[in-house]
Chain A
Amino acid sequence: MEQTQSSPKPPSRVPNAKGKGADAGEPSASGSTPAPAEQDYPRPRTKAERRELQERQRAAKAAAKRNAGLVPPASAKGAPAAGAAKGGASTSASTSARGGTAVTAAAGRGVKELKPTPGAEDVGGHSHGLRIFSHFALQKIATHVAKGDVHPSIVQLGLMFSEFKICGANARCIATLSAFKEVIQDYETPPNNTLSRHLMTHLSTQISHLVSARPMSVTMGNAIRQLKLEISNSDIDLPEQDAKDELCHKIDNYIRDRIIIADQVIQETAMKKIHDGDVILTYARSSVVEKVLLEAWSEGTHFSVIVVDSRPMLEGKRLVSVLAAASIPCTYLLLPALGSVITEVSTVFLGAHSIHSNGAVYSRAGTALVAMLAKQHSVPVVVCCETYKFSEGVQLDSFTKNELAPVGDFFNSFPLTRPRDSLALKNRPNLEILNPLYDLTPPSSITAVVTEVGVIPPNSINSIPLALGRQPF
């Protein structure tokens, strides 16, 4: 019985793969191959026949791939765009269902299966290296086409996300929740439906639009999960407007408790780590670290700040202008220059996008380098992070989940002294430009994490849910 069961697998596997390929618009040559597979439906009985069938299908698949390689580039251009869109669509569909990190693995698998054909035409003689980074599925910027019933404030928000006008984990979360408040107020339960069930599906459409603009941040994911919990717990008997008001009130409380007040507690705790005459180093721009520094300065402590910055986003410039406006003595330099100043630094303050249960910090690309070099020179590294940024699961390296910035001079981050045509701003044959936006700092490089429930060493991050009186995830 087992033997005959194993035989259908080869014929059924081939049409499946071809089916997915057909979805992404793989050239029509593949369409012809399922036909021979179907012809073999009267199953071969002997082992030799089965092996012969497998060989035939393998040869047919190889022939189809070769034909696909000869098909003119027009269809190939369709394939990568469709492939990327498909990758994005599958990400959004599954994200709205779970909003976890396991999703990107599925998207990655989907994209990897499509990858061989688009990669072959895109770059003549694609190599091992180009395939390695292929799972960084690049989001298309111009998805202004809203699918389904998307609220105008969500459309506006999606546009601002994709243009990076709102960036930073806290800012994005607050913006999303505020937009959701408007969505909820404008929502009307259709007849024969309950608010608690239908509102969820309505919100899912909004969420998929936001994700298609830019992958969701962990903060947004946690906040949305909490919101969905509140919606499902809302009382069925409440009149609609009351239920909506209660939800908006809960959203306000979430923002107030988990973000605003948490930030204030973190400010007061971290301020105690700054003493007179200190040289504080920070990287890029973290909203929490900015608040800590401003608060410490207004309390009268005299210190100076070194802001380290880097492409692609060059966010540190904004931080420098805020600190300089408050008359804090600042030094500004780019990341490669860090080696020359690290010997003078007393403490390093960093922000985080999210923090994992093993204590690894997922933050702006470049943070890992700063933390590593500081640790080497025995400079304490302090990460300021609210508890709502806690992300379940353990990420082992920066590849599992990352986002690429758009190629080219999107942020105007190149110096004016350098003529634009001497820079490589576009992909060329044999040259691909990658701008990862995030990286993972291992817990060994971090000295302490300041949260609103206290200052904890990185490997005790797991105890946060218990400290908040909740179930551990």
Chain B
Amino acid sequence: MATDLYNPASQRAVEALAAKLRRRQVLGSRTAALETVVVLRQVISKARFTNIEQLVGIIRSVGRKLVEAQPKEHAVGNTVRKLLHLLREEYHNATKRSASTSPGGFSIAKFVLQGQPKKQAAGPKAESSLVLREDDPDDPDSFARTLKPVLMEAIQDVLDELETVYDNISKSAKDHIHSDEIILTIGQSHTVEAFLKSAAHYRNYTVIVAESGPSYGGHDMANSLSSAGISTFLVPDSSIYALMSRVNKLILGAHAILANGGMFAVTGSLLAATAAHAHSTPVVVCAGQFKLTPLWNLYHEYAALDFADPSSVLGFEEGDLVDKVDVLNPYYDYVQPELVDVYITNDGDHPPSSVYRLIKESYGDEDKL
């Protein structure tokens, strides 16, 4: 793919982002997704291609580079896949000038094959007057020139969606939280924070925040919530089971939502979700749609996803104990789909059993990086 990143400026941008990802300087999945979109926009705007395959190839190689830099940050791969999917859709829209699908053409075969009944029905929305000429020998740039504005719009949609993710998720907050409820949450999640703060405008309730060692993100969360006027309790993780009998709901954030409806979440979430299940307390997960990941294997339970610095568990101040003892500091937990009751996303509320359908709608089948 020599024509890939022929443009040196785009190449530099991609390398810069890959380096940041590798060094874990990008904090949070939303930031990672936003930066990926920005870089891809730059690459696409400067890229030169004469047919759709070349464009897809360019985007795929950029995506591969970014994903290899940080395979544990799923938001990057998800965003690239989403862009590819949108791109293909725009392309299909533009090239199908004839009345493509018969408007009442809802057949089982199409449903099974493409699995996107919603999008099919809304398909011929843009009766585009684009005349796309691929591989035109006289005017090699015509294809790119006509397609780029459409692509830029699609990318802008994705950016808007990412930027308004917190607001959209918080829209249904007041319906999920009642007055005088006691909510339990773990560690720190910006999504959950926005959710709870938005509900606080309408309801009076209490939040219990579990500290979540050894990062103790719960302290930041508790400080932030109490400054917003929500009455908050800060407790250590050890008392989650003790308090669970009084808790009305457990609200968690997610790192990535997997294709089977399970999720990767910050460590401690499995304990809390299991305790909630034992007490029949509903478990609510707030996550943006960009966290939906088309990944799943049988071994999630046996392999922790990522490890953090062990010195916050047992530091060098313990002296020679450090040599004699193995210290583990896994950063994420895998939570089974049976333990989660609902996923609240910026696109509405979904039970774990329908996550596979969301993934089919958001990502195309052909795009496996």
Contact = CB atoms under 8 A, between A and B. Distances in A.
Chain B contact residues: helix, strand, loop or mixed? mixed
Contacts of A330: 324-326
A199 to B, nearest CB: 39
Nearest to A131: B206
Contact of B212 (A125, A126, A336): A336
Interface string B236-280: 111111110110000000000000000000011011001100100
Contacts of A366: 237-239, 241
B326 A331 contact: yes
B214 A415 contact: yes
Interface of A: 123, 125-130, 132-133, 310-312, 317, 320-321, 324, 327, 329-341, 343, 364-366, 368-369, 372-373, 376, 397-399, 402, 414-418, 422-424, 428-436, 438-440
B233 interface: yes
Contacts of A130: 206, 231
Contact of B231 (A123, A329, A336): A123
Nearest to B330: A340
Interface in B302-324: 302, 304, 309, 311-315, 317-318, 321, 324
B271 A331 contact: no
B73 interface: no
Given A334-B313, A417-B309, A312 B236 contact: yes
Given A343-B301, A417-B311, A365 B214 contact: no
B325 A331 contact: yes
B210 to A, nearest CB: 8
A425 to B, nearest CB: 9
B226 A128 contact: no
A436 B242 contact: yes
Nearest to B213: A334
B234 A424 contact: yes
A424 B237 contact: no
B235 interface: yes
A223 to B, nearest CB: 26
A433 B234 contact: yes
A334 B310 CA distance: 10
Interface of B: 180, 182, 186, 204-206, 208, 211-214, 216, 219-220, 222-223, 225-227, 229-243, 245-246, 267-268, 270-271, 274-275, 278, 301-302, 304, 309, 311-315, 317-318, 321, 324-330, 333-334
Given A310-B236, A439-B239, 15 more contacts: A127-B206, A128-B206, A312-B236, A330-B326, A331-B328, A337-B329, A343-B302, A369-B275, A373-B270, A417-B309, A430-B229, A431-B222, A432-B232, A433-B235, A439-B242
9 tightest A-B contacts by CB?
A: A129-B206, A336-B268, A366-B238, A339-B270, A398-B242, A431-B226, A439-B242, A368-B241, A415-B312
A434 B233 contact: yes
B315 A310 contact: no
A73 B103 CA distance: 73
Contacts of B245: 397-399
A115 to B, nearest CB: 15
Contacts of B246: 132, 399
Contacts of A123: 231
B216 A414 contact: yes
Contacts of B242: 365, 368, 397-399, 402, 436, 438-440
B228 to A, nearest CB: 8
A293 to B, nearest CB: 14
Contact of A332 (B275, B312, B325, B330): B325
Contact of B236 (A311, A331, A372): A311
A424 B219 CA distance: 6
Given A133-B233, A331-B327, A369 B241 contact: yes
Nearest to B311: A417
Contacts of B327: 331-333
A334 B329 CA distance: 8
Given A133-B233, A335-B271, A364 B238 contact: yes
A125 B240 CA distance: 26
A416 B312 CA distance: 7
Contacts of B231: 123, 125-127, 129-130, 430, 432
24 contacts: A129-B180, A129-B231, A133-B233, A310-B213, A320-B321, A330-B324, A331-B327, A334-B213, A334-B214, A335-B213, A336-B267, A336-B271, A369-B241, A402-B242, A415-B315, A418-B312, A424-B219, A430-B229, A430-B230, A432-B233, A433-B233, A433-B234, A434-B233, A439-B239
